[in-house]
Amino acid sequence: MNKATSSLGRSFAAHAILATYTIIALFPVIVIIVNSFKSRKAIFRSPLSLPDETSFSLVGYETVLAQGDFFLYFQNSLIVTVASLTFVLLFGAMAAFALSEYRFRGNLLMGLYLALGIMIPIRLGTVAILKLMVASGLVNTLTALILVYTAQGLPLAVFILSEFMRQVSADLKDAGRIDGLSEYRIFFRLVLPLVRPAMATVAVFTMIPIWNDLWFPLILAPAEETKTITLGAQVFIGQFVTNWNAVLSALSLAILPVLVLYVIFSRQLIRGITAGAVK
């Protein structure tokens, strides 16, 4: 009985901590969403109260949707995020497989070199990247963003995935070789399914910074037709007047797609974490 109460107490404490953390983490998001449904006056008068009949207003959303390019921004963000994510996962997994599976000269060095990228922020190279993009005529294209984000995401992807791939049974791969599977089949059919949780982890960690990034869109692709959603929302922030309704509505809308992607990946992520725990 003593044990039962103490474990009850412990689980209560654990839940209290988790709940507190959840509230702190979700608070800004909730405030944004709640306020996006309020009139400008109400936002400033009582930013924490829920919208009621008098304060409820969709003016923010109307402004955002009336701004014709908003769907284009959305589309740009999605294209950039999904394309970068695809390349990071594909190339990251392939590089990780090569590093973990094959013995070749410079294997360790190559792994260290790739891991170095985790510690050195890519933004340090912004000027050089901009010069490069100007020289290659890629300024104001989505390609520029996709290339940069792929480079930005690869180090962590290679690092995490090669660690996981080392744990895939060598005998399994050898059995595949004896059965005559090509190295590509072994990679795609035997190894990738087994490291799916790790892929999901990498996907989440790669996706969110890309979606939220303001820096590179601003520098490399500020043109109207290549703006991403985060950059697009900035049109409502002026030096003297900021259209808060529109900013909050734009941000609320921007959360949606990434939330969907996150839910898809987090299924895999949680499965990976619990599978590890049960073993």
Partner 1 sequence: MKAFVPANPSHSPDVFALGQAQQKDRKVGSLKLENIRKSFGDVEVLKGIDLEVDDGEFVIFVGPSGCGKSTLLRVIAGLEDATSGSVKIDGETVNHLPPSKRGIAMVFQTYALYPHLTVRKNMSLGIKQAGLPADKVAEQVDRASKMLSLDDYLERHPAELSGGQRQRVAIGRAVVRDPELFLFDEPLSNLDAALRVNTRLEIARLHRELGATMIYVTHDQVEAMTLADKIVVLNAGNVEQIGSPMELYNKPANLFVAGFIGSPQMNFFDGSRLEGETAKTIGIRPEHISVDTNEGQWAATVTHAEHLGADTILYIDTDTVGQIAVRLFGQHNYDDGDRIFATPDADNTYRFDAQGQTIG
Per DSSP, the residues of 114-131 read HHHHHHS-GGGGHHHHHH
Residues 260 and 278: their CA atoms lie apart, in Å, by 28
Q: Are 163 and 181 in contact (CB under 8 A)?
A: no
The residues binding partner 1 (CB under 8 A) are: 169, 171-172, 174-181, 190, 193-194
- Whichever of 124 and 278 has its CB closer to partner 1, that residue is 278
Q: Taking the complex as a whole, how short is the minimal distance between the CB of residue 180 and partner 1, in angstroms?
A: 3
Q: Are 80 and 228 in contact (CB under 8 A)?
A: yes
Q: Taking the complex as a whole, how short is the minimal distance between the CB of residue 171 and partner 1, in angstroms?
A: 4
- Whichever of 99 and 233 has its CB closer to partner 1, that residue is 99
- Whichever of 34 and 110 has its CB closer to partner 1, that residue is 110
- Whichever of 186 and 251 has its CB closer to partner 1, that residue is 186
- Residue 240 DSSP code: S
Residues 259 and 262: their CA atoms lie apart, in Å, by 5
- Whichever of 123 and 185 has its CB closer to partner 1, that residue is 185
Radius of gyration in angstroms for the set of CA atoms belonging to the chain, rounded to a whole number: 23
Q: Taking the complex as a whole, how short is the minimal distance between the CB of residue 190 and partner 1, in angstroms?
A: 7
- Can you say how many angstroms the Cα of residue 99 is from the centroid of all Cα atoms in its chain? 25
Q: Taking the complex as a whole, how short is the minimal distance between the CB of residue 189 and partner 1, in angstroms?
A: 8
Contacts of 266 (CB under 8 A, 6+ apart): 200, 204
Q: Taking the complex as a whole, how short is the minimal distance between the CB of residue 251 and partner 1, in angstroms?
A: 41
For tokens 């999605």, the residue is 78
